[in-house]
Structure 1
């Protein structure tokens, strides 16, 4: 069985390797005549102007659509309209929308912790009572002082 054409051209003969960068012969036309003028070298490849998924998402989300706020109409991007809809639901009674909105805000702010009002004096006293009760339950019965 004979070697494949490419293997024969690159195999060493008499200790030398044959250079194939300028070779012209059967199945190897000169570079200047390799393709017809205007013909692609990859005719079944990606068509010109085709978009990848990220480009399509970017275009769809930045498209302007009309919305109404009260008695006024204005145009906003699809992304902004979606955010406004989530906020509207969150202000209503949709708990999942509220959680989604708060999580997105935390993500955008760089995982900033949600600020709470802190514990008041009464809250601190209740927590201290719980801690004392738990510590008392963890002590053996003979060590407890009644």
Structure 2
């Protein structure tokens, strides 16, 4: 026998992993895609959407964003809250130091500011503001 001492962090040589042997043999198989990879691929696929009587090709992600904005503009409060959360996450703040921000035109920003202003005014007035009471 050799002078190898078995103890904490030093298992017996016969039970150690052999070179090239995995520590998790039943783990994720090679080539298996992660959830995020599959999600990005799915959202990147293009589909045909009818919009205002015209057909357009857009990615599924673009279609989801369009639907989110459309529902928010129709007054769905949960959708509006989610849209505002997404805007905060993805559009630059006024200091312009958000490195991960998406580019937005001046008209886009003005539209969003107006939407935020109207929604905060609506929330400040309570539920009666909608019904004219």
Q: TM-score, normalised by structure 1?
A: 0.45
Q: Normalised by the size of structure 2, how large is the TM-score?
A: 0.49
Structure 1 or 2, whichever has the larger Rg, is 1
Higher relative contact order, chain-length normalized (CA < 8 Å, sep 6+): 2
